[in-house]
Amino acid sequence: WSDNIYRFSTMSGFSYYIWELYFSQQINLLIGKKNNFELGFGCTLPIVEPIQDGSNMSYLFFYRIGYRYQKEDGGMFFRIGFTPFSGRDLHPPKNWPVWPWGGITVGWMF
């Protein structure tokens, strides 16, 4: 790990969706210098969640595999990836469905 090809990054934040407030935490492994292969895992937990008809999820797990461009000295970064997520259904049959997803991010690193 001394050559700085392998690095970790973290992300945390809040999201809001139709009367629901969530907190997310994620950890990523970056492999590369400027052009990175990115692997990640995270969890989203409800902070405020309305009572629904029994179809809600208590928490979501999400995964990341993708490409990330980021300068070593910080500043703007760009990433694109496949980000499937899963969650435990709180009501019978209490299964773990998985939904395919993807995303593009433009952000600032400090």
Closest alpha carbon to 68 in 104, 102, 100: 104
pLDDT average per 10 residues of sequence, the chain (110 residues): 76 82 91 92 80 61 92 85 81 71 88
Closest alpha carbon to 66 in 87, 97, 35: 35
The tally of CA atoms less than 13 A away on the side-chain side of residue 46 is: 14
The structure tokens listed for 21 are: 């407030």
Residue 20: CB atoms within 10 A of its CB come to 14
Q: What is the pTM of this model?
A: 0.72
